[in-house]
Amino acid sequence: MRAEFAYEEAQKYLRQRNWLALVAGGLAVTTLFGVGAAANRDREVVLVPVTSERLSLSSAGPDAHYLELVTRDTALMLLNRSPQGLDYWMAEILKLADPAAHGRLKAELVKIVDEQRGSDISQAFVIRKMEVDPAALTSTVTGTLKTFVGAQVIASNDRSFRFRWSRHGLALGLVGFEQLQDQSQKD
């Protein structure tokens, strides 16, 4: 009787061992597939072509450095224009627009395009100073705005422009921009 009991116990342990070996084998195969998939998975790194540093964004909002880079690129795109590239210029700025402000920004840009199309007037902006406020999502750019007719410089004035931004998740959208009055003009 003891032999039968010992045999039944041995069979029970043998079934448990075989079942655990089968589960361990399944887990090993699953682990190998997981490691293989992770090793071959495409990784994404956001590269900003004009800076050699890594940028990271968090759900807490943009930091001052990131807002400065976005403002710099937007200001240079917005304030450097010529009649030959007006359609491209407007399309690129509208890509940055906040969806809620898209219509209003497009109306402002169409006015500029209509005024400048067919003329020889171009403008170039050289940034001298920038102030950003990540909490308020605003930035101010100050510099020299040069106006050209053909190759002739007809005006060179110091100007300041304010950009207003909105945040949706990790994305910034341009809500508006305006030229600020010069302090000497206010007095």
Residue in 139, 85, 140 with CA at minimum distance from that of residue 112 = 85
104: domain range?
57-185
**pLDDT for the residue numbered 186:** 44
In a domain, 46, yes or no: no
Is the CB of residue 38 less than 8 Å from the CB of residue 52? no
One domain for residues 108 and 17: no
One domain for residues 99 and 125: yes
One domain for residues 26 and 113: no
One domain for residues 119 and 84: yes
In a domain, 176, yes or no: yes
CATH assignment at residue 154: 3.10.450.230
In a domain, 92, yes or no: yes
**pLDDT for the residue numbered 5:** 81
**pLDDT for the residue numbered 35:** 85
Burial 94-121 (b: 16+ CB within 10 A, else e): eebbbeebeeebeeebeeebeebeeeee
pTM of the model: 0.67
Number of domains in the chain: 2
For 175, list phi and psi in degrees, rounded to 5: -95, -35
In a domain, 139, yes or no: yes
What is the mean pLDDT for each group of 10 consecutive residues in the chain (187 residues)?
83 92 93 82 56 66 84 92 91 92 93 89 93 93 92 91 89 90 55
